Amino acid sequence: MSDLQAEISRRRTFAIISHPDAGKTTLTERLLRAGGAIQLAGNVRAKGERRRTRSDWMSIERERGISVVTSVMTFEYGGCVFNLLDTPGHEDFSEDTYRTLTAVDSAVMVIDAAKGIEDRTRKLFEICRLRDIPILTFINKMDREAQDPFALLDEVSSALALDTAPATWPVGRAATFAGTYDLRERRLRVAEELPQSDPRMVALGEELELVQAALPEFDKESFDAGHLTPVFFGSAMREIGVTDLLDALVSFGPPPRAQETDTRTVHADEQAMTALVFKIQANMDPNHRDRMAFARICSGRLQRGMRLRHVRTEKQFALHTPQFFFARDRQLAEEAFAGDVVGIPNHGTLRIGDTLTDGESLRFTGVPHFAPEILRRVRLDDAMKAKKLRQALHELAEEGVVQLFRPQDGSPAIVGVVGTLQLDVLQARLAAEYGVAIGFEAVPYSLARWIEGEKNAVAGFAASNRSAMADDLDGDPVFLAGSAFMMRRAAEMNTGLSFRDTKQIGVLTTT
């Protein structure tokens, strides 16, 4: 095995997905602590200034106790380099989560032991299934009142059509929860030694007989294909089961996978470097008005100072200061390998969906925009700041905070979001980072669809419906309809055109 292959084989890049309040952020911190990345994990149950959740760095996250942006954290454990992507738990930020899942090789699904499979968990799982992403399941909060473990496994299996293979088993329940039994290594992991006469040990022996008789053993091939999930029980708050999860990722977590492009499949161990920009974040450091592109290295080795081809613009891009991240903290990356996630400072050059290469002209696929569910016009409180607002909206739209539509009739810009919390984030960030106070006004539109078809046909439709036409950030045409009926009618009367509710980022919609 070459040095390049050896480095790539020890990369583990994964996301954590869950329904809100299942304990995702707490688990993230415990994983980082177990990996030596932090000495003291934050207490997400603390209030006000005492709250120090390390992965939630934006002010609105700290105020509300939620994650609304993806945080990237790199650390080493067990001879592997981990790139952990903590995704937004709130459903209003599903688009950011979807893009994040284009950049990972596996996912950890966190389930509340009392609540089981919840709506958000199911939706995120379906996104993983679309991409055949292997999933490890962590059933959290076993130190509280919980469902029976067999019932939880059955629910995962039936609700998600996913085979379950328990990797660990809980010893005790709720207040008597003492630790786990490792089914692969056949050993206890408990804080204190328990005599065989202890009721928890007696129950464990009976349950293990049922586990071995009724449930499948772990099969790596089925796991890699996304058909089976190993299941771990624990309590992130009490740091029980956390190292079980990390050890499993070291042992059988998938290394960097091949990625599809518009021309061919790119394999991680190719010599030539390629990278996909899947996220943009501005103003992580308000003092420097910075703008960071998060890029997944898809193949080869990245080295600081190398000159890359920016495929969208066909220009050269100098890589002066690539960085590794631990949430807000950064470290200069002298080199990185396939599977790593690096931050690239830039001034608006890089956008979501961009491809960087050593020279080859190819574009990574599978990074979409979804049609927004809520449309609003921005109302500016101070007309003197109109120019600043235009710049701010453009930059925040490039980040993916909102989608920006500029009406072709010259009326003020319209923003589109999946949920109302995104509007709160937009309002808060405009005030905090740009000093611009805004409100929102209703618009006579409820749906937005990208128009795809022959160029002259699109232009003819746009001319006939000018008051309902807008251009998106890329200049592609968007039809705004007042109702689902009006959208269906437009489609029926223009059979040569397609009205799309998704758009492949970086791909023009007209031919």
- Binding-site sequence positions for GTP: 18-25, 86-90, 140-143
- Give 9's DSSP letter: H
Exposed/middle/buried for residue 510 (C-beta within 10 Å: 0-12, 13-18, 19+): middle
For residue 433, give the nearest of 294, 283, 242, 292 by alpha carbon. 283
Helices H / strands E in the chain, number of each: 13, 32
Identity of residue 285? D
Distance (Å, whole) CA 406 – CA 393: 11
For residue 96, give the nearest of 132, 59, 118, 66 by alpha carbon. 66
Residue 180: C-alpha distances to residues 111, 134, 155 (Å): 17, 23, 21
Please state the residue numbers annotated as binding site: 18-25, 86-90, 140-143
Distance (Å, whole) CA 53 – CA 47: 11
- Using an 8 Å Cβ cutoff, are 144 and 21 in contact? no
Q: Look at phi and psi of residue 15 and say left if phi exceeds 0, alpha if psi is from -120 to 50, else beta.
A: beta
For residue 230, give the nearest of 246, 210, 206 by alpha carbon. 246
Q: CB-based contacts of 395: which residues, under 8 Å, 6+ apart?
A: 282, 291, 348
Residue 372: CB atoms within 10 A of its CB come to 21
Q: Which helix (H) or strand (E) holds 243?
A: helix 242-252
- Using an 8 Å Cβ cutoff, are 120 and 52 in contact? no
For residue 462, give the nearest of 449, 444, 474, 473 by alpha carbon. 449
Exposed/middle/buried for residue 187 (C-beta within 10 Å: 0-12, 13-18, 19+): exposed
Residue 436: CB atoms within 10 A of its CB come to 21
